[in-house]
Structure 1
Amino acid sequence: MEIKLDENQERDLSSHIINLVKDSVKQAISNESKPYLNRKEIAKYFGVADSTISYWATLGMPVAIIDGRKLYGKQSITNWLKSKEKAVISKS
């Protein structure tokens, strides 16, 4: 399959892609400097679904609640996850 674009379409597409990359880099940098994130951000940070974060909270994952707003500490959750690690011995 081949797609042909005229000059204007190519320029618009290139501009759109560049802006998407710039926005993604800005967001990544912003989230790296923030020690606490909302549920959607922390789910993305750990590469899991939003619902997984809610489930983990029911298992005792640390959550900061300020004025009814839930915030999730990257370091606190990393430490909590580490505390759940267990050695698995494979029997072959």
Structure 2
Amino acid sequence: KPYLNRKEIAKYFGVAESTISYWATLGMPVANIDGRKLYGKQSITQWLKSKEEPKPEQNKKPLAIAVVKDK
């Protein structure tokens, strides 16, 4: 099923139902059909991915090692 109720979507993502409610307050997509809230697996997955922070990049500058010889 592409759309699930709150209990099902919580189980699908391995979180508490209260977490689903909280995510909805943060802007997670929710379909409201005849007063019934449904949650799309694909749209929520995309929403979660949009919230991911990029991994901190390591220093991209190459290390330069110089040898100085006395004349």
Question: For the superposition of Structure 1 and Structure 2, which TM-score range results when normalised by the shorter chain?
Answer: 0.7 to 0.9
CA RMSD of aligned residues (A): 1.4
Taking structure 2 as the reference length, the TM-score comes to: 0.77
Identity %: 84
Structure 2 counterpart of 1:43, from 10, 24, 36? 10
Equivalent pairs counted in the alignment come to 58
Q: CA deviation at 1:90?
A: 8.1
What's the CA shift string for 1:18-58, capped at 9, x where partnerless?
Answer: xxxxxxxxxxxxxxxx0000000000000000000000000
Equivalent position to 1:72, from 10, 14, 39: 39
C-alpha displacement at 1:87, in angstroms?
Answer: 1.6
Identify which of structures 1 and 2 has the higher relative contact order when contacts are C-alpha pairs closer than 8 Å and 6+ apart.
2
Q: Which of structures 1 and 2 has the bigger CA Rg? A: 2
Separation in 2, partners of 1:77, 1:64? 11
* Structure 2 unaligned blocks of 5 or more: 59-71
- 1:89 Cα deviation from its structure 2 partner: 2.3
In the TM superposition, what are the counterparts of 1:49-60 in structure 2 within 5 Å? 49-60=16-27
More helix, by proportion:
1
User: TM-score, normalising length from structure 1?
Assistant: 0.60
- Segments of 5+ residues of structure 1 without an aligned counterpart are 1-33
